[in-house]
Every structure is written in structure tokens, then in C-alpha cells.
Structure 1
Amino acid sequence: MAGPAGDWPEAGAATSVRSALGGYRAYARRWVFLLVISLLSCSNATLWLSFAPVADTIARHFLLSTEQINWLSLVYLVVSIPFGMVAIWVLDSVGLRRATTLGAFLNFWGSMIRSMPCMAVDIQDPFVFLLGGQTFCALAQTLVIFSPAKLAALWFPEHQRATANMIGTMSNALGILVANLLSPALVKTEEDIPLMLGTYILPAGLTFLLAIACLWESVPPTPPSVGAAQSTSLSFLAGLKLLTRNKAYMVLAVCFGGGIGIFSNFSALLEQVLCVNGYSSEFAGLCGALFIVFGVLGAVALGLYVDRTKHFTEAIKIGLCLTSLACVAFAVVSQLQGQTIVLAAICSLLGFFGFSVAPVAMELAVECSFPVGEGAAAGLVFVLGQAEGVLIMVLLTSLTVRHAEPSVSTCQDGQGPLDWKAPMLLMAGLCVLFSCLFVLLFHTPYRRLQAEADASPSIQEDERPATAAALGHAPYLAATP
């Protein structure tokens, strides 16, 4: 799978047939589809982390331990690894509309189940319902997290794919931000917990209704590009087999998957790392919010840039290098006291550089693996990222030791503060390693864009200039060794 897209005989045949039928078309209802997927991703993320910001209050109200509360978030990670492969098959075999509707139903049903301990007074074990509801939401996540790349490929023309992927992907990050802000605002006392659980049902229910009412088909009647016409032209197993044999794709999956794992651990451990050196939980929350907000801004800027230039590889390589520098800076400065302004700036830069490459990496995964289905191409990266995240979490936590001497810790776990110096240096070292491997080893032609370069220009609904000249630009052909 190392040759250019033109090596696939199906691409040329489909191009000639489509050209004879009158070209390609982008439909306005693609934005409605993107809205539904974005709302679903945002709602799912809020359900994921809704308990974490008010963990102490939830534990007291339901008489749960800290470990049980943590499992309400960890279940997402556990479920995503085995069921991620099933979700890949569903997306590429059953269809995007049915997969999205199923995900919306599971998300809504999970939000209902976890609210039952507050609706019924005779429930003996509320943890069963809380964990059961989170499990259904976790199943929904495996369906929605891969969807933006497939939606962008099936419904959007060449000059909008990266932007659409960015909007769908960053909706998940916005959901995390909403959960961190909304849960503490809603839950002041234990009596407010039913209000919080009920509030999170509303967007889940709205998204489910929109999915039923507004999504009519998985693919448009006329594809927006030759890439969309050739989408999922291989069977599920054949596609996975080709992915594992594609050196460029595996380098991307392992290196960017490692980045996903590092960012997951950064978000989960941020408060614990900062409290050891005297930083408050409020400051840690501010750093987490800056991490996400600047990440979304970076993703918007880079998504628009890549849509115009198609510099996928260059953008990711530069972004990963800058992310590594920010990660090293955090590993050093987080071990110092009284560096609030510097830490806030570093967390902002880490989000800006790190988050911005996520949607571009998903697009590049599709480009270097075409014509393998978009669900498989994007999904396998995510599954590997979750697995690498578990391994990284085990490594980081195994290196922590308790402080023997008195400290300025503000940690409230009731035990001696942990020393995070070695784990943070390891995290930074892994980030640098993954970035270096990607820069040195990743080389690929853009298969989908090459197939489209051989086709007639797409017919855009907004009557943009024909893309033939742009397709002749060097980044599209991406000549590589």
C-alpha cells in the first residue's frame, strides 16, 4: 500500500463514470449532519466528565468511595479499547446515519439510567445505575469519536474537509470544558445532584431527536468528490489488513496515538501534579480550561490553513515539535512553586499546538490509507491511542513516590503528597520520542487527493473557482521518497 492512488484501478473507473454522469455536488444539508454529530460529541463528553469536578459531593451523597467515582470516568477508556473495533465495523459497514442514530440513542439512554438513583427512593445500590449509565455513554463514544473524519469524506468537498473534521473533533473538547464549568456551577450541595443529572439529559435527548428527524441518509445522492465516490471501497477485514501493512499509516497511528495517550493523562493528572507544589484546585481548573480553549482556537486556525494549502504532513510535524517543547517546559516548571503565570501560559501553548493537530491527523490518516474506509482509518488511531494511554498511565503512576519531608501541598487526598518529577520528565520524554519518530519516519503520498487530481473538478454549490489549478499544487501530490 505504498504506491500512489493511481495504482488502484477502481479510482480511474469511478472517475470516468462520475464525470459522464455530470460531476460532483455538495449539499447544504451536510451542515445539519455536522451539527448533529458535533452536538452528540459535545454531549457525550459532558456526560463523561460530569462527575469528576464534583467527585467529593457525589461520593458523600451516594456513599461511594473515591475509586468508584474514578471508575465513572475510567469506564470510557476501558470500553473504548475492545468495542472500538466493533464501532469501526459499524461505521464502515452499517452506515454513518444508522451509526450516528444508534450512538445518539445509547448516549440518551445512558444519561437516563444514571439519573435513576435520584428518581427512585428504593434503589439499594446506586453505583450500579451510575456505572451502567456511563457504560452506555461509553459505547456511544466509540461510535461518535470516529464520525467526523467519515462525515467530512462523504459529504464535504475538498476545500472544506479539514474544517468539517475540525468542527466535529473539537466539539468533544468543548464538551469537556462545559462539564468542568457546568458541574461545579450546578452542584453547590448534595441536594443539587438531581438537578445536575437532569440537566445533562436535555442535550442528550435533543441530539437523539435531531438524529431521528434530520438524518435521512448516510451518503448524499451525488458525492462531493472522487474521494467520496470511492469511500469504503474495501471490505472491513481487507481494509484493516491493508492498514497494518501500510508503513506510513502505522507510524502515524503509533506516534499520534501516543500523543492522544499523553494528552489524556495530562488532563487526568493535572490537578494532582500541581497541588503537590502548592497550586490550588481552582488554578488547576483554570489551566485545564486554558488548555482546551486555546486548543480549540489552534484547531480552528490550523484547520482553515490546511483546507487551503493541503500541507497536512508539514503542519503535523511542526505542530508535534512545538507540542514537545511545551510539554518539556511543563515538566520542568510544574515542579517549581509560585509560577502561576508561566504555568498558565505553558498550558495554553500546550493546548494550542497539541489540540490543533488532532483533526489534521485524522484527515492525514484517511489520505495515506485511501481507499480504506474512513471509519477504520480514523478509528484504529483512536483505539491505539486509548491503549497507549493505559500503558502510559501505568508507567507514570508506578514512578510516583511519597514525599518524606513536609511540603506546601494543597492536595486533599488525606495522604502524603506524591513526587511527580520523574513521571513528568518521562511524559515529556515520550512526547519528544513520538514527535521525533514521526518527523523522521513518516513519508507518504496523499492518495485521496491524487485520485481527485485525476478527476474532473468538483462542482461546488457556492461556485468557488474550479479546484483543478489547486490540485496541481505540490502539496497535493506530496512527492515523497
Structure 2
Amino acid sequence: MENSLETKMDLPATKFYKKRWIILLIYVLYSAANSFQWMEYSIIANIVMRFYDVDASDVDWTSIIYMLIYPIIVIPVSYFIEKKGLRFAALCGGLGTALAAFIKVFSVKRGLFYLVLLGQGIGSTAQVFVLSLPSKIAAVWFKPEEVSTACALAVFGTQIGFALGFVVPSSLVKNHDDLNLVAWDLKKLCWIITIYMIPVGISVIFFFSKQPRIPPTLAQWEERHKRKLNFSKYLKHFSSLFSNHGFVCHTIAYGINIGVFAAIGTLLNQFILEYFPNSEEDAGRIGLIMVLGGICGSVVFGVVLDKTHKYKETTVFVYCGAVISLIGAMFSLLSESKLLVYIVFGIVGVFTNAYMPVGYELAVEITYPADESTTTGILNATTQAFGVIITIFLGKFNSRFGAFWSLGSQAALLLLGAVLTCFVPNKKLRQEKFFQEKIARNELQILKENEK
């Protein structure tokens, strides 16, 4: 009894810092700038082609490079994030995003398209550090009952940047006859994001800490005292995740869901114009509404996860919602009602784009105590690979069969993902750790009160 009491009395202290919200805000600000640059040129492809005198395929590479670099470098990046921590990742992601924007300020001249690609290459490299952090920030800084909400809010930055990437470039850069005016618009676009990143970059340098002085949970206390891996051991640890059959099923399902969203967003203009000619602006607005719907869904489902801890159930619900809403989108195009198309595609965004934080959190639960940045990195790498494959397939399928059956093919893919999700075990390994910690602290409190 005495040994048991002594063990409980030695339970490590935990603490919650208000600074966690500042850390989260800084991340949201620079992640938004990074995802904004992903769509910066492809959304105004016709203007970029004319100004730089390049082909459409050249402009496509400003976006494709974001999807190709991620799976190539995700393993070493995940290793360094686990070894060096949050501050290292934030410096690479935030300052890399700022550098990408700064380089493109000097690219606004005919013949300098290679500088555009250089800037996009740096931005896409920084993105690997950016997208690996939502679950890790939530775990390192936040209370157990806040982690899912914090993860959803972190993903908010990426989503809002993506949304702005649909509308800001096309609103700011006009297709003037005079190329000098086009150059002026492009330079304004580049300077706006560069100036925006100056205070954000300074915030990363001076305010983004590696971790709180006292961890918020016992799980994080144990993480700090865990023996650090060298790279060879990390590779074994990384590959061991693929022996977790539930995680493999979830990874494929996650890649399908977000890959379908990316493919539909890329070809949305073609889908809308097939049924509503001369509606280019409507296509852009529908894309914006899809992303905004995803932002709302992310926050709602993040709160639901924190309140209920029903990770698998929520994931299956979101996936089924994506299948049903996409089938609805197919038939909304036949209705000849733009309002209905807006509404239904917005619902598609709620259930596809909002899947990001839900998928992150389920992955962390079924792989705990694996590092959050590693599991998130694997999910994102799969997403980028699937995004490229599905987009190429969908483009060819659409040119042959049209928008209705193209969306039908994506609904079938989502149905496959929903079935795969049903095979994911309903494990809550991280929540079990939190629960054990709560019991231990309650017992400690009772022992202290009895001693009095």
C-alpha cells in the first residue's frame, strides 16, 4: 500500500497554458498563406499563359508540384519533425512559405517563369512541414478534451487559404490587353502575400515555442522521456505502421476522400460550364462555397469528436454523407437550377473537405503512441498521390462521358472508401491513455484528502 501510495504521489504534474491559443493562431495564419499559393497561378491559367508565353501544361505544374513533392520527402521530414519538434517544423514551414512568396515578387517579367516554378517548389516543400502539424500541435499543447477541436481549428487555416486561392487571384489579376497592366496586377498579388507573411514570419521566430514547459497530459510527459530514434530505427517504426491493417484501410479511405475533393475542385469549371454555359464566375463561387462548407463542417465535427469521442462512428457518418451528397450533385446539374447546384455542392464540401480533421484524429487514435506528425504525414502523402491519379483519370473520363457520369464515378470511389472505413477497428488508444491518467489523478486527489 505504501509503495502504491508513493507511486501515485510521484505522478508528474501537468499544466495548461493560455499560450496554446497563440501557437494555434500563428499556425493558422502561415498555413493559410501556404495553401493560398498552391492555387495562385492555376486559377488564372489563361492570363499566366499569355503573360509568360507558356503552355497550359507549364501552368499546371505550378499546382502539380505541390502534390508531387509531398510523397517524395515526407519520410525525412516526418523524422526531423519527430526528432526536432514543433518549433523546427514551424520555422521550416512558416519561413519557407514567406521565402516562396518573396521570390515570386521578382518573377513578374516575361522570361522569368522559372522563378515562378522555383517559388512554387519552395512553397510545396514548406507545405510538407505545414500539413504534418495539426494533430501534433493539438497533442503537445492542448487538454485531452480539446485535442479534436484544436486539430479542426488548425486545419481551418489550410482550408481558408485554399478558399481565398479560388477568388483573390481572379479578382485581383485582370486579363488586360496591355501586358504591362497584367504585370502590375501580378506584382500586387505577389507583394500582398509577401507583406502579409512579414509579421507572421516574425511571430514564428519569436513566439512559436517547441513545447510548453510543463506538458498538458501524462502521455506528453512520457513522450518527452521516450528514447529518441535514429533514422534507421525511425524507418522501421515508420514501416511498422503499415502492418497495422486498420491504419492501412483508413489511409486508403482517407486518400480516396480528399483525392476526390481535389479532383472535383480542379475540374469544377468544366462540370459547371457543361450545363451552364458562360458561368465561369459561378464555377469559382461554387468552389469557394465547397471550401467554406468544409470549414464549417471541420469545426462542427471537431467539437463532436471532443464531446463524444466516437471517432469511427463520426468518420463513417461523414463518409456516407459525402457519398449521398455527391450523388445529389450529379442530379442537381440536371435540374437547370444554379441555386440548387450551389446548395448541393456546398454540402459536398461539408462532407469531403471536413473529413480532414476527422481522418487525422481517427488515425492518431488507432496508431497511438505513434508520433502524430508521422501518421499525418502518411495520410497526406497518400492524399497527394491519389489526388494526382484521380485528377488525371477524371479529366479523361469527363472528356469522354461528361460531367454527370464523371461525378458518378467519384461517388462510386467514395462508396469504396466508406466500405473500407467500416473495416477500421474501433480503437481509442489515445483516449484510453487519457482515461487512465484521469483515474490516476482522481485517486491521487482522494489519497491526499485522506491524508489530511
Q: Corresponding residue for 2:37?
A: 47
Q: What is the letter of the counterpart of residue 389 of structure 1?
A: G
Q: Distance in 1 between matches of 2:428 and 2:153?
A: 22
Equivalent residue runs for 1:19-38 within 5 Å: 20-38=10-28
**Cα distance change on mapping 1:424 and 1:17 into 2, 3 Å:** farther
Q: Corresponding residue for 1:68?
A: 58
Q: Corresponding residue for 1:140?
A: 126
Q: Corresponding residue for 1:297?
A: 296
**Cα distance change on mapping 1:223 and 1:272 into 2, 3 Å:** same
Q: Distance in 1 between matches of 2:222 and 2:248?
A: 22
**Aligned partner of 1:228 among 220, 241, 244:** 220
Q: Corresponding residue for 1:449?
A: 431
Structure 2, unaligned stretches of length 5 or more? 1-5, 177-181, 445-452
1:237 to partner: Cα distance = 2.2
Q: Does 1:172 align with 2:164?
A: no
**Aligned partner of 1:99 among 70, 89, 97:** 89
User: Quick check: 2:31–2:94 contact (8 Å CA) kept in 1?
Assistant: no
**Cα distance change on mapping 1:244 and 1:287 into 2, 3 Å:** same
User: Quick check: 1:277–1:337 contact (8 Å CA) kept in 2?
Assistant: no
User: Quick check: 1:115–1:130 contact (8 Å CA) kept in 2?
Assistant: no
Equivalent residue runs for 1:232-247 within 5 Å: 233=226, 235=229, 236-247=234-245
User: Quick check: 1:153–1:231 contact (8 Å CA) kept in 2?
Assistant: no
1:355 to partner: Cα distance = 2.5
Structure 1, unaligned stretches of length 5 or more? 1-15, 403-417, 460-465, 469-481
Q: What is the letter of the counterpart of residue 197 of structure 1?
A: C
Q: Does 1:419 align with 2:402?
A: yes
Deviations 1:210-234 (A, max 9, x none): 1101123x22221111232244847
Q: Distance in 1 between matches of 2:391 and 2:297?
A: 26
Q: Corresponding residue for 2:449?
A: none
1:246 to partner: Cα distance = 0.9
TM-score by length of 1: 0.83
**Cα distance change on mapping 1:179 and 1:398 into 2, 3 Å:** closer
Q: Distance in 2 between matches of 1:361 and 1:443?
A: 14
Q: What is the letter of the counterpart of residue 429 of structure 2?
A: R
**Aligned partner of 2:253 among 238, 243, 255:** 255
**Cα distance change on mapping 1:278 and 1:132 into 2, 3 Å:** same
Q: Corresponding residue for 1:393?
A: 391
Q: CA RMSD in A?
A: 2.3
1:33 to partner: Cα distance = 1.2
Q: Does 1:112 align with 2:102?
A: yes
Q: Distance in 2 between matches of 1:140 and 1:51?
A: 18
Does the residue aligned with 1:399 lie in a helix, a strand or coil? helix
Q: Corresponding residue for 1:428?
A: 411
Q: Corresponding residue for 2:346?
A: 348
Equivalent residue runs for 1:184-223 within 5 Å: 184-188=170-174, 189=176, 190=182, 191-216=184-209, 218-223=210-215
Q: Distance in 1 between matches of 2:213 and 2:421?
A: 38
Q: Distance in 1 between matches of 2:186 and 2:389?
A: 34
TM-score by length of 2: 0.88
Q: What is the letter of the counterpart of residue 369 of structure 1?
A: T
Q: Distance in 2 between matches of 1:23 and 1:60?
A: 62
Q: Number of aligned pairs?
A: 425
Q: Distance in 2 between matches of 1:126 and 1:76?
A: 20
**Cα distance change on mapping 1:458 and 1:37 into 2, 3 Å:** farther
**Cα distance change on mapping 1:17 and 1:277 into 2, 3 Å:** farther
Deviates more, 1:226-235 or 1:170-179: 226-235
**Cα distance change on mapping 1:389 and 1:53 into 2, 3 Å:** closer
